[in-house]
Amino acid sequence: MPGLFANFEAAPVQDGLDIRTRIFISFVCSCVAVYLDEVGPIVALGVASLVYVLPTQRIRLLLIVYLLVALMTVLSLGTVWLFFGSVEWALLKAGSDSAAMAGMFKTQILASCHIPFLRLIPSLNVLLALSFSFHVQTFVNAMKMLHLPRIIFLPLMVFCRFVPEFILNVRQLREAVLLRGFSISFGSIFIHPVQTLRLTLVPLVIRTLRMADNLAVAAEMKRVGYVKRPTVVTPLKFGKADWMVMAVAVLLGIGLVAWQVLIQEPPTMRGSA
Amino acid sequence: MRNKFYWNTESLIVVGLFTALNKVVSLLIALIGGGMNPVTMMLKNGVATALLIVMVSRVRKFGVLALYTLIAQVVSFLIAGGGLITLLPAFLLAGLISDSIIHWCGGYRKLSAVVFGVAMYDLLGRVISLSWSFLTVRENEGMFIFGAVVVGLGYLGCLLIGIPCGIKFTKELRHAGIIREL
Amino acid sequence: MISFKQVSYTYPFQEHPVLRNINFELNKGEAILITGPSGCGKSTLLRILNGLIPNHFKGELQGAVQLDGLNLPVPLDEVSQRVGVVLQNPDEQFMATCVADEVALALEWQQIPAEEIRRRVDEALAALKIESIAEQSVFTLSQGEKQKTVLAALLACKPSVVVMDEPTANLSPEATEELREICLMLKKQGITLVIVDHRLYWLRGVLDRMLVLQDGAPVFQSDAGAGDPLDQLAAHPELKAWGLRDVHVERPELKSNTEAEDFLIDVDRISFRYPRTKKQIYSNWSMQLPSGAVTAVVGGNGAGKTTLARLLTGLNKPQSGTLLFDGKPLKPRTIRARTAFVMQQMEIQLYMRTVKDELLFSDPKKRVGNARSETAEKWIRVFGLTGLEARHPQSLSGGERQRLVIACALMKEPDLLILDEPTSGLDGLNMQIIADQISAFTRQGGTVLLITHDLELLQKTAAYKLTIGD
């Protein structure tokens, strides 16, 4: 998410593909990724998505994100392993028959963890490609072009405008609290949970409600939201490249699904091995 | 009176603002508390519930939970690059059911009805996402069970932290005149 | 163009009217200033003009209001076609993320053709001379640029009346001067101006009419053809009693901070840049902060006025150089215990359920039992908050809230008090209370670093100036 709003200060430059194409590709990719459960096709999807994300030339950031994901994977696997380990231990102590089942889960986690995580890679790649080329303003324009009804468009526009604002507010709030001699930290959540909640949430919620009132008045004065769809001043261009990339994505998706079906011929029950 | 649409500009703005606030606050809690620990999980879910109660008490319109769901889902679709958008109809239905519960329990002006509806909404939403996560990690039952425990813990956070906080906030905001009682 | 005849208004469920017997007339291309102490009914009058009363707020509106040929009440969108409104805080009016899009926003929702929108946006940007920031993000604008963006968005809609609510509250003296030029330009275009502001001095030569309200009723109304309304006001014998700001304001001549004898803080050759933006704010910069006096920080936008406050309170650390507090280098934690910093954003500095709790919460736990409560009560009294002890801090009016935040800062009994725009948007009375308390604090040996655009506050409190940048 920080990636999405990291470049909100940059001038709107539209490079390469239309944002709608990128959204479409994300959609196709995650649908296909969820369907696949054979190593071959998933790896192929991963490679294809890598080819798609590389032209953004943000290799360093890409590597950092991969590293973070790897770290998180190890961490969460460790947590899960510990969880079932301790459950097994507790059940063994109690002499329950279910201990064996917990033990089975424990070994199974390490044995078949690769598929869910391989599945994550393609989604991650397309997401990064989307967020690297993301600019809040082009995005808002794209929303208009998608002919979204106002009940989706208006809240999304407000969302895009106020996420950076809230991030700023949170930072200011943290400092204001610090100046009062309190800190909002990991420790304070445990030591003073009620006070921490009060110090953070009360000002933020009140600020949000006040902003809502003021923004609503300003919007009413401008008659924002009085018609179904606003005029689009700078239409986005949907070029040949977009159609081609989309076609390639769809064909690739179908191909990979077909590949998996072929591997699993004759049809068998899919699921846990 | 002013706007011919049922969802006037003001309600749409409030929903958009609270979606943004919710995302930022849960990001903040995750950053401060670290990802995988029970306290952070409970706190994150609890705070989201509290904010939802405040939002519903502010907008007070039938369908607000469904609308919020729609926006939050579109946003997470854009942030998480897809996946859950396939569940949109199910989530929308959950929103509508919860809205109806609030409606039948005495309407949006009654805090207890709002709280009950939001609690129901949180429950339904979790059931749906758990079924989906079953599909994505189907090779690994252990992970699914672990996921279920995490989600259950989150719901506990909604009930134990979110609802008391939400009630307290809403009462305080009404008292301060920031949420108009009329 | 605008005429109010015997207008009174009562909010729903209220016994007494907030506005009584308002009468005035304004021709096309004229400007009126409506002023008066906080709570005098100015905001209510604005709400009638922008159509929120009676469309949004019910209640009872009496008398006759005529607006550009319309006899109010009419539906809100008929009013908003004619009246453009600048609300107090420009930040809270933006819905788009870049300047040009914000200017185009209202036109887009009127479904005006794209060609026409582009032409009108260009015109509006050119009229306010902000073409160069057209593509800039609204998050990076200065207060003056934000104000101009809001005005450009209004002009693009071609209103016949422009209403401004506290337009100079957050502006620097330079930006205020630019706003004055803009007002003259709007008048020349035949746009009628209704300005509600506490600051008076900048409007010299702009006004045709003036209305001073107190408790909802007019106490002063300028005569047409009797000279500048500001001069008429200045000559009025009861002026002092109304709690207004000064009619004449000059930038005070202040001594340089180097002329002082005692210093509390010694900044020795510090260099600082924000890690994010990489912009160098200070390089090898030294200064000394006079002790027991008010020092005003002077410098343009982005010169590093607020950054100085952040360094002094340990919110940021300089990359090199030393910072001595009372001759000793201290840890940020210790510095923060001895300083109080009142930031611009008031809402995020109030957390508790009642005014009194807020003050008690600010006490650094040095006092016990009754002494604590008594100190809190003293500050409540001194800052004129008596009777509000049990109120929710966030339900207070702007002036009361600002006073409370400063009272909380003083409750901490700091050695150094840093104030960032403590009087923006306040009337003369509120400003005087705050100025008096700042002076009282320095008389007891406290040191104050004051960051403000408010020339009147500078005049009343500051002893030294500290120049940053050129």
What is the complex's ipTM, to 2 decimals? 0.90
Least confident of A184-193, C207-216, C305-314, C412-421: A184-193
Q: Which residues, in sequence order, are bridge partners of residue C211?
A: C34, C221
Cβ of B10 under 8 Å from any chain C Cβ? no
Answer yes or no: do A210 and C94 touch at CB < 8 A: no
Structure confidence at residue A272 (pLDDT) = 42
**Cα–Cα distance, B137 to B24 (Å, whole number):** 28
Structure confidence at residue A12 (pLDDT) = 34
Taking only residues 129 to 148 of chain A, the set having a beta carbon closer than 8 angstroms to any beta carbon of chain C reads: 136-137, 140
Q: In what order do the strands lie in the sheet with C447-451?
A: C255-256, C464-467, C294-298, C447-451, C416-420, C339-342
Angle at C54 between CA C49 and CA C59, to 5 degrees: 125
- What residue ranges in C140-205 does DSSP mark as E strands? 161-165, 192-196
Answer yes or no: do C76 and B2 touch at CB < 8 A: yes
pLDDT per residue, tens digit, chain A (273 aa), is 333 343 433 333 335 677 778 778 877 887 788 788 788 888 888 888 888 888 777 788 788 878 877 777 777 777 777 877 888 888 888 877 777 777 777 776 666 667 767 777 787 788 777 777 666 666 777 777 777 788 988 998 899 888 888 988 898 998 998 888 888 777 787 788 788 888 888 999 999 999 999 899 888 888 888 888 888 877 767 778 888 888 988 999 899 888 888 887 755 544 443
More confident residue, C80 or C180: C180
CB atoms within 10 A of CB A211: 23
Is the bond leading into C113 cis (omega within 30 degrees of zero)?
no
Taking only residues 329 to 358 of chain C, the set having a beta carbon closer than 8 angstroms to any beta carbon of chain A reads: 336-337, 339-341, 343, 345, 347-352
Cβ of A218 under 8 Å from any chain C Cβ? yes
Structure confidence at residue A271 (pLDDT) = 45
Closest CA to C449 of C460, C436, C440, C462: C462
Which residues are CB-contacts of C166 (< 8 A; sequence separation ≥ 6)?
A: C88, C196, C197, C198, C425
Taking only residues 246 to 285 of chain C, the set having a beta carbon closer than 8 angstroms to any beta carbon of chain A reads: none
Q: Give the dihedral of Cα atoms B133, B136, B142, B144; nearest 10 deg.
A: 0
Cβ distance B13 to A219 under 8 Å?
A: yes
Cβ of C174 under 8 Å from any chain A Cβ? no
pLDDT tens per residue, range C20-72: 999 999 999 999 999 999 888 898 999 899 888 888 888 899 999 999 888 88
Chain C interface, mutation test: which of B2, B25, B173, most C Cβ atoms within 10 Å?
B2
| C467 CB-contact burial (10 Å; exposed 0-12 / middle 13-18 / buried 19+) | middle
Is the bond leading into B164 cis (omega within 30 degrees of zero)?
no
CB atoms within 10 A of CB A94: 9
Structure confidence at residue B105 (pLDDT) = 93
Segment holding C456, helix H or strand E: helix C455-461
The amino acid present at A87, given as its one-letter code, is V
Q: Which residues, in sequence order, are bridge partners of residue C450?
A: C296, C419
Partners of chain B (3+ Cβ pairs below 8 A): A, C
Q: Which residues, in sequence order, are bridge partners of residue C280?
A: C273
Segment holding A28, helix H or strand E: helix A19-35
Closest Cβ opposite residue A233 in set C52, C114, C140: C114
Cβ of A194 under 8 Å from any chain C Cβ? no
Report the percent of chain C where pLDDT is more than 90.
Answer: 58
Is the bond leading into C54 cis (omega within 30 degrees of zero)?
yes
Cβ distance A34 to B136 under 8 Å?
A: yes
Least confident of A87-96, C80-89, C328-337, C343-352: A87-96
Closest Cβ opposite residue C351 in set A137, A165, A203: A203
**Phi-psi domain of C111 (left: phi exceeds 0; alpha: psi -120 through 50; beta: other):** left
Residues of chain A with Cβ-Cβ distance to C110 below 8 Å are 223, 227
The amino acid present at C225, given as its one-letter code, is G
Quick one: closest CA in A to C113, which residue? A231
Average pLDDT on C226-240 reads 88
Cβ of A4 under 8 Å from any chain C Cβ? no
Answer yes or no: do C395 and B172 touch at CB < 8 A: no
**Cα–Cα distance, C343 to C406 (Å, whole number):** 10
Quick one: closest CA in C to B17, which residue? C95
More confident residue, B145 or C206: C206
Structure confidence at residue A14 (pLDDT) = 37
Structure confidence at residue B31 (pLDDT) = 77
Closest Cβ opposite residue B177 in set C75, C77, C395: C395
Alpha helices by DSSP H, listed for B60-175, are: 64-80, 88-104, 111-136, 141-157, 163-175
Residues of chain C with Cβ-Cβ distance to A217 below 8 Å are 52, 56, 87
Structure confidence at residue A3 (pLDDT) = 39
Q: In what order do the strands lie in the sheet with C19-26?
A: C19-26, C2-10, C60-67, C70-71
Q: Would you list the DSSP string of C373-389?
A: HHHHHHHHHHTT-TT-T
**What is the pTM (predicted TM-score) of this model?**
0.86
Average pLDDT on C191-219 reads 94
Token output for C239: 């002026």
